[in-house]
Each structure stands twice: as C-alpha cells, then as structure tokens.
Amino acid sequence: MSFSYEGELRARLEREKNFVVKSGGRLRFALAYPNFYRVGMSNLGIHIIYALLNSRREVACERFFLPELSTLEKISRANFPLLSLETQTPLNKFQVVGFAVSFEPDYFNIVKMLKLGKINPVASQRTDFDPIIIAGGPCATFNPEPLAEIFDAFIIGEGEVILPPLVDEIISTEHLPRLKRLEKISQLAGVYVPSFPKKVSRQWVKNLDEHSAHTTIVTDDAEFNMYLVETARGCGRHCRFCMAGYCFRKPRNRSLDVLRREISAAKKFGKKIGLMGAAISDYPQIDELCKFILGERLQMSVASFRADSVTFELVKSLSASGLKTLTIAPEVGSDKMRAVVNKGITEENIFTAVELGLRAGIKNFRLYFMVGLPFEEKDDVEAIADLSTRIKKFCGGRLTLSLNPFVPKPFTPFQWSPFAQKKYLDAAFKILRTRLKSVRGVEIISESVRSAEVQAILSRGDKKLSAVVMRSESAQEFRQNFRAAELDEDFYLRKIPFDEPLPWDFLNQGFTKKYLHDEFNRAAALKPTAKCFDGCSRCGVCNQSFGGAM
C-alpha cells in the first residue's frame, strides 16, 4: 500500500513541469487545496501562493490535495497518512498547513484531509508539536466563523500582501509556545486568530503589476488544461448578489505590457491561454490582448465576460481558439429583476452578445440564471423562460440553461435576504421546466435545493456551526450533525433584521454596513448604481489606508 500511494504521487509529479523540490528550508509549508488535484490545479490562487512561498530561500512549500475516491478508500482503510505531492511527506510533519478555501462545500473536505493527515481538526486540542493551521481564500475573507474552531488563523484579504509578514512572524516565534505564537500572529494586519479576536481589516494589492499571477506548475491533468493568466482582479460593477464584487474591491487591471510578457513566456508550453478575471471583456485593452495572443499562434479562453462590453474581436478570438459554446450570464429574465440586482445590462445587450457569437461561427450558447432572489415574483420566473425561448429561436443552435437557487452572501446588499423556501424554489423550477419542455434543443441543469441550502447555512453561519463542521466529512453528515446539535435551519436561512449583529461584523472590508443597506434600498426602489470610476468615494474602499503597502 505504501508503494502504491507514493508511486501514484510520484507518477503524477513526473507529468508536471516547473514544480519545486527543496532540500532543507527553515519553514516547511503545506499548501492544501480541499478538493481533487484536477480541481486544485485549475485554481490560479494555488499557483500564485506556491510561487510566492517557494521564492523565499527559507521556505519549502509542498502541495496536498484530496485523494481521488479510489485512492481515498484505500488509504483510509489502511490508516495511511495523507502525503505531499513533492516529497511524499505526511501532512503532520509540516510546521504550517495553509488551506485555500474557495467554496463552502469544500469545508467537509478540510476536515477529511486533516484527519487523513493525522491532525486533530479541533484547534483548541492541538499541541505545541502540531502544525499551525491557516485558511485563506474568498471564504476565509468574507466569513471565517463556521471554521473558527478548526483553524488557528485566517488570512483576510489577498495573500501577496499578508503572507510575507505572516511567514516572518511564524519563523521568528518558532521557539515560543503555540498560544504565544498565535497571539503574536494575531497582531498582524489582515490576520484573524479566533483565540485572540479583534477587528480585522482586509488587505489587498494596490498594484497588480508588482505581483505575477499566472500558471506556475504546468500539467495536462488539470480540469482546465490551460495556462492561466490573471488580467484583472476585483469588479466594480456592483451586482448586488455578488460577494466577489464587494470583497475584492477595488477593481484593478494588469498592464498590457506585463500580460504580453507573461503570455510570451507561456508560449513554450503550447497551451491554450486562459484569461482570468471577474469580467474579461471589461479589460480596457481586450482587443489588443486578443490580437497579441492569436499573433503568437496561441489559442485562448476566458473565465467570463459581460454582455454589454463583449467585443467582436474577443468572440472571434474565442471561436478561432475552438470554442463551440458561448456562455452568457443574464442572471435574471425581466427588466425589473435586472434593476434589482443592478446587473447593468439590457436585453438588447444579451441579444447583441448572441449575435456576435453567431457572426463568429458559434452556434451553441449557455445561459446562467438564478431563482429565489429578493423581490422576485412568479412573473419574473416566467420571464426567464420567455427570454430563453426567444434566444433559442434567435440562435438556432443548442441552448443550455444553468439554473441555480440564489444564495445570500456576507458583505453584499443582499446579505440580510432569506434563502427562498424549498416549496417556492421547487415551484419555480417546475415552471421553467414545463415552459421549456416543448422547446427543442434546450437543456436545463440545476443545483439541488438541498445542496444550496447547506451552502446558504455555511455562507452566513456563525461560530456555532464550527463544532458541527468539524464532525462532518460530507454535506449529508453535516445535516445529520446539525440536527443532532439541535440547531435550527430556519434561523440560518431566514431574513435577517437590518439591526441584528452579524457574525462577520468584526471584519472590515473597507465599506460600512450602512452603505450595503442603502444599496439594498436602491434595489427595492429599482434604482441603478453606476460602476466604479476613478475618483469615486461612494463605498470608501479607495479611501482606505489599509489596502496593502505595496
């Protein structure tokens, strides 16, 4: 069994390029992604942090992933420890374990990996001989409380700014008892230590050009078999449901010269270039960037684009790169709901984007919609079916609809909104399936309501959930343990009063709760909010002095 597991890891490593194996290093850092390898290696954050840590002579960073199901079953049955990819070292032999946490459903994989790694998932029960367990990523930044009894510390914001001083502090305090080390760490900007609570301000990079963000380790085994390059970070569109638009402000772009250099360096690998960002079409020089990529005889793909800013050059470049299905995210179907969520696009923009796809030779389309949003009514649900039917007739090709329940997120204007009742969501999905059943060439896929409920509970959860999460290795176990703890699902899914303290109130994202409340009222009044612009001082993020001394 030992040879089989280690051999599997070595074989995977042999298929990679540019991984790092260090002998020695004062600090051994385990960088963990709580999902399978193919998913984790498609996460650009893993590449960024891996390169950042291994650029330091005194740090040796190695990666850990959740083993594939067949391997997981074998090592669990044999009580074999979770091993690193680079040197096949057990997880509990590292001084620091850092998890990149992007999605709530992965919380259960964190527990699973800690147990496989022979590390106690209960932070208060770990000793001076155990690693320090840290969480970073979007989930850590917007609400760490459901994981507060599992992790020793959380990175609130962007790792490029916070990790260097954090690593320095961990190294300089290695002679101190665990609790004293955590107390020292808690004094750093952008670090939340649950055992030493305080107000914490999000830290962020002001100049992206000073920090590279592209694929570091090249592999063919990633879910997205591309060379990823970050064009921008953050979004200033003010979509009122979107956590990323609020927790990653201010929107920042990389310079075209830097992107050209990074893409030129990627050319030797011969991979498709995956442009990463909240809205690629909002990049100010997107046409020039597309021409450059194709001029280098490379193919390209994009993480997302906006229907109102997409250009023919971008769509033509995607088509030339082999794209067969163009993805558009209307989110809602009616003018009213577009005003509610402040999507900032019109129906005309959506059809123009489809037309650009058709002109470029793309005949198939995928549309993203949400149901259960604040102020939504039956007519708004039916409007999704109407819009989809008209788009299908217009494009003629295959149309895929991704329909998902709306999940309220912290630090958004809809953070107080309830998760819609299952009865309502089931009825909404039935309306859409019934209305579109007779339209040939339309496929509907959707997340289960029960799965979305768990995500909603975790998204706005408090510290009480932490004891439940640490005993749960799956969503099903979580629900069972949740009921056993006599917690009330309705409490976590309800509409929250505006004057009620929120579990994440101790975090400072750079704007006030009043600002979010005002945005909620604008949604109710169907009033738009213009996107971010230079010199804007509406939310206050750009006026903050804590945004990383970079």
What DSSP line would sit under 342-398, residue for residue?
T----HHHHHHHHHHHHHTT--EEEEEEEES-TT--HHHHHHHHHHHHHHHHHH-S-
Q: How do residues 386-425 score in pLDDT, each as one tens digit?
A: 999 999 999 999 999 999 999 999 999 999 999 999 999 9
Please give the average per-residue pLDDT across 495-516, as a whole number: 96
Q: Mean pLDDT over residues 539-549, rounded? A: 64
How many other C-beta atoms can be found within 10 angstroms of the C-beta atom of residue 309?
A: 19
- pLDDT confidence band for 23 (50 / 70 / 90): confident
Question: Mean of the per-residue pLDDT values for the chain?
Answer: 95
Question: Region 104-109: what's the mean pLDDT?
Answer: 98
Q: For the residues 100-117, what does the mean pLDDT come to?
A: 97
Q: Is residue 244 predicted with pLDDT exceeding 50?
A: yes
pLDDT band at 537 (very low <50, low <70, confident <90, very high): confident
Please give the pLDDT value at position 535.
83
pLDDT > 80? residue 245: yes
User: Please, which pLDDT band fits residue 445 given cuts at 50, 70 and 90?
Assistant: very high
CA distance between the termini of the chain? 48
pLDDT score of 72 more than 60: yes
pLDDT digits (tens, 9 = 90+) for 209-224: 999 999 999 999 999 9
CB atoms within 10 A of CB 11: 9
pLDDT for residue 350 is more than 60: yes
* pLDDT confidence of residue 3: 53
pLDDT tens per residue, range 171-217:
999 999 999 999 999 999 999 999 999 999 999 999 999 999 999 99
pTM more than 0.75: yes
Go through the domains of the chain in sequence order and give each one's CATH number: 2-201 (3.40.50.280), 224-310 (3.30.750.210), 324-447+509-526 (3.30.750.200)
pLDDT surpassing 60 at residue 330: yes
**pLDDT confidence tier of residue 546, bands split at 50, 70 and 90:** very low
Burial of 486 (C-beta count, 10 Å sphere; 0-12/13-18/19+): exposed
Residue 127 identity (one-letter amino acid): T
Provide CB contacts within 8 A for 243, sequence distance 6+. Answer: 138, 142, 409, 410, 411, 412
Q: Is 201 helix (H, G, I), strand (E, B) or coil?
A: strand
Q: What is the pLDDT of residues 429-441, one digit of tens each?
A: 999 999 999 999 9
Tokens of residue 400, six digits = 């895929």
Q: Which residues contact 249 (CB under 8 A, 6 or more apart)?
A: 234, 235, 236, 509, 510, 511, 532, 539, 541, 542
pLDDT at 486: 96
> What pLDDT is recorded for position 545?
52
